[in-house]
Structure 1
Amino acid sequence: MSLNKLDCYGVSERFLGEASLYPAFELGRVISQYRKLYKIITNKGEVFAEVSGKFRYEIRYLCDYPAVGDFVMLDQAKEQSGNRMIHNVLTRKSSFERTSVGAKDQTQVVAANIDYIFICMSLNLDYNLRRLERYLSIAWNSGATPVIILTKSDLCINIEQKLIEMDQVAIGVDVIVASGMEGDSYLQLLKYFKRGVTASFIGSSGVGKSTLINRLAGKEILLTSEIGKDDKGRHTTTHRELIPLPQGGVVIDTPGMRELGVDSVDLAKAFADLEKLAESCRFKDCSHKDEPGCAVRDAIEKGEVDRKRLESYHKLKKEARYDGLTSKQIETEKLNSMFQEFGGMKNARKYIKKHNKRSIKY
């Protein structure tokens, strides 16, 4: 069966393989969401769908519900409402999450199955290294690869200095300099897009996200706005939407920073330089505050690390409820959260071990 339509919406062999496990259902991808209703693209075209009663009954957490970017399995026939039924959400390879409003200790998926996260920051009023650290922490934790786009370079007179600062903060991350005034700036992004690739653009409003997406799409599909004198842009994107690109790949345009929390962050990658220095601290559980023999504070005193970077690290740890924990302890907390239905990672291991013993045949 031809999958041309799904080809245009980022389907890959990985998802086709998993979908083959459900021969009675049809594969589709969520392209937008409206409360409890989903717009889905299938090989036959666009359809509207809702979660089946059985699936809804089996869902334990909000993050289990479908989100924009998810690949789902649908009933072949329409219900009396005229909508299709979603019976399964295929395994996500990455997900953008935020704390759910009104549901304690639960997260909600903002967008799923993203390969690249383009972090847009303008080189004029929006430029802020601390905000960038926050974005990078969230991006790394999602499972996608972050790429930084510095927009509006035509309004910056010290680009070289800004790039030096980027090297100290965005370790191992590609940095692209673009300008909305230059018609071919977006061409630098084409190397990231091909069949099966999904990308997301995040950043403050007015930094040029919609302009870049319009250029990639080859037409004006998103409204644009500018950053005002008060350093605040107007939100021109109010919901998430999956947009296919003519050169291959798709884009999920997401609203601004207010959509994303820091309950789930990857500080080890976003602050890789501090993590490396921490290996030389006298104490393995050094908090880098007032312990003797702290290699991180020593590097700061020598001018090798910006003091504000350590302050940002502490702030993000506190906001993410990891204050006072070492990197190893943070990873343990994340695993415990993943296996909370078993009472934590330790109990999950006991369950798996016991289950495996029962499975042994003599």
Structure 2
Amino acid sequence: MNSYSLKQLGLQTIVEEQYKQESLKIGRVATSANERYKILSPEGEFQATILGKIRFLAESARDLPCVGDWVLYQKMDGDSQAVIHQVLDRSSLLSRKAPGDKKEEQIMAANVDFVFLVNALNNDFNIRRMERYLYLVYESGALPIFVLTKKDLCDDVEDKIRAIQDIAPGTPVIAVDSLSGEGYEELYSFIKEGKTVSLIGSSGVGKSTVINRLFGKEMQKTKDIRASDHKGKHTTTHRELFVLPKGGVIIDTPGMREIQLWGTEESVHQAFDDIEALAAQCRFIDCKHETEPHCAVKDAIHKGKLDVERLESFRKLEREVRHLELKEKYGTHRASKMQWEEFRKKL
């Protein structure tokens, strides 16, 4: 039975400050499914359930353990089974709206330092989708890093890197070739003992291949991309935490077929801080960047400094998150009515 030191598992200061119960052991959740959890700890690996009190007091999915969580558990005598007594406070939480029409949050990973936003440098390259991923990371409290895979299939790598730098100034962008290993040394600079990295991306962009390359062996199964549309088939079916032999922790997540947002308007503005900076220069504080005179945003579009599609993407995400906030507070029917009234006032 494998055991890991707390440092190998990515121990953080916020965790050390909370761990004061000598009667309970501390571990980290590696997998989670139907309220069954695998815990990694200095004492070994354990299959665990949660204390009934945790389930009874849980008001939402956020109150239950998820992959990446630090938990206090009690080992059952003479067994590899355990019971989770407490979920410790998180330093970050990566989530999205659950797929479908239900008003539910889907928790993806906790206590993550860096999120690798994995995108393929082939026909599936999509800037608008990357903006949505960036929003999820800003909302989580982790730091984003763009990882561009399948470099060997792309003839205009630098152009695509510049396109991402335009939507996320200052955010690292690393292009990798998993066949030759090019770019992986840059990735390793973020993966070290005491740090946790999560990978998110659409189905088939190469997340599993990246993980296998980082480990130096097959940890996740992969499938070839389709020649017809250059898209791959995602093979990761569940979230899982891995401890790298050279130090560092990686959390893999299933590929996303749809990216539904969960969070606040503040994170939208953070993901589009270039538009926010321009808006601050508009003559009117409540400028909608449509017909108003002396609009810095429209002027930037006219001069070719801002892509009109980026402005439309900003407006779309802002509407989505606004609708989600209203729906959470008032319900679906009233939220739609209120948002329509807000739209009419702008006409």
What TM-score do you get using the length of structure 1 for normalisation? 0.82
User: CA separation in 2, counterparts of 1:253 and 1:154?
Assistant: 23
Query: Matched residue of 2:5: which SS?
Result: helix
The equivalent position to 1:225 in structure 2, one of 223, 226, 230, is: 223
Q: What does residue 8 of structure 1 align with? A: 8
1:123-202 correspondence runs (5 A): 123-202=121-200
Residue 77 (structure 2) pairs with residue 52 (structure 1):
no
1:153–1:178 contact (8 Å) kept in structure 2: yes
User: Kindly tell me: are residues 255 and 277 of structure 1, through their superposed partners in 2, closer, same or farther at Cα, counting changes over 3 Å?
Assistant: same
Shift in Å, 1:322: 5.6
Secondary structure, aligned partner of 2:245: coil
Q: Contact 1:282–1:294 (CA<8 Å) still a contact in 2? A: yes
**Conserved 8 A contact 1:207-1:226:** no
Partner deviation per Cα, 1:107-137 (whole Å, 9 max, x = no partner): 2321111110111111111211111111111
Q: Structure 2 counterpart of 1:127, which letter? A: F
Match 2:94 to one of 93, 96, 102: 96
Secondary structure of residue in 1 paired with 2:144: strand
Could you tell me how far 1:11 is from its partner in structure 2? 1.8
Q: How does 1:1-362 map to 2 (within 5 A)?
A: 4-20=4-20, 22-77=21-76, 83-100=81-98, 105-228=103-226, 229-258=228-257, 260-264=259-263, 266-321=267-322
Structure 1 unaligned blocks of 5 or more:
324-332, 339-362
8 A Cα contact 2:4 2:41, kept in partner: no
Separation (CA, whole Å) in 2 of partners of 1:60 and 1:269: 28
Q: Tell whether the 8 Å contact from 1:205 to 1:226 is kept in structure 2 after alignment.
A: no
Corresponding residue pairs, total: 323
2:334 matched residue in structure 1: none
| CA separation of 1:254 and 1:211: change in aligned 2, threshold 3 A | same
1:177-219: CA deviation from partner (whole Å, max 9, x where unpaired): 1112213432221111122111011112222211111111121
Q: Deviations over 1:41-65 (max 9, x none)?
A: 1211011111111122222222111
1-structure distance, mates of 2:279, 2:18: 41
Unaligned runs of 5+ residues in structure 2 are: 330-347
Q: Label 1:168 to 1:297 Cα distance change in 2 as closer, same or farther (>3 A).
A: same
The alignment yields a C-alpha RMSD, in angstroms, of 2.5
Paired AA for residue 233 in structure 2: R
Q: Secondary structure at the match of 1:75?
A: strand
Task: Provide, for residues 65-122 of structure 1, a one-character-per-residue CA deviation record: whole Å limited to 9, x for no partner.
Answer: 100000011124359x974221211111111112246996442321111110111111
CA distance in 2 between counterparts of 1:101 and 1:220 reads: 29
Contact 1:63/1:106, CA 8 A, preserved across alignment: no
Contact 1:48 1:84 in 2 (8 A): yes
**SS in structure 2 at match of 1:298:** helix
Q: Which moved more, 1:172-181 or 1:261-270?
A: 261-270
Structure 2 counterpart of 1:294, one-letter code: C
In structure 2, do the counterparts of structure 1 residues 126 and 10 end up closer, same or farther at CA, with 3 Å as the change threshold? same
Distance 1:100 1:111 in 2: 14
Structure 1, 239-248 or 69-78: larger mean CA deviation: 69-78
2:123 aligned partner, one-letter code: L
Q: For the residues of structure 2 that align with 1:257 and 1:213, how far apart are their CA atoms?
A: 17
| Residues 133-176 of structure 1, C-alpha deviations (whole Å, 9 max, x = no match) | 11111111111100011112222112222222222112110011
Q: Confirm or deny: 8 A CA contact 2:4 2:44 kept in the other structure.
A: no
Q: Is the 8 A contact 1:126 1:204 kept in 2?
A: no
- SS state of the match for residue 214, structure 1? helix
More displaced stretch, 239-248 vs 57-66: 57-66
Native 8 Å contact 1:171 1:270 kept in 2: no
| Amino acid aligned to 1:249 | G
Distance change >3 Å, CA 91–CA 259, structure 1 → 2 = farther
Partner of 1:358: none
Letter in 1 for 2:17: G
Question: Which SS does the other structure have where 1:311 is aligned?
Answer: helix
Q: Distance in 2 between matches of 1:50 and 1:104?
A: 26
TM-score, normalising length: structure 2:
0.86
How far 1:263 moved relative to its partner? 2.3
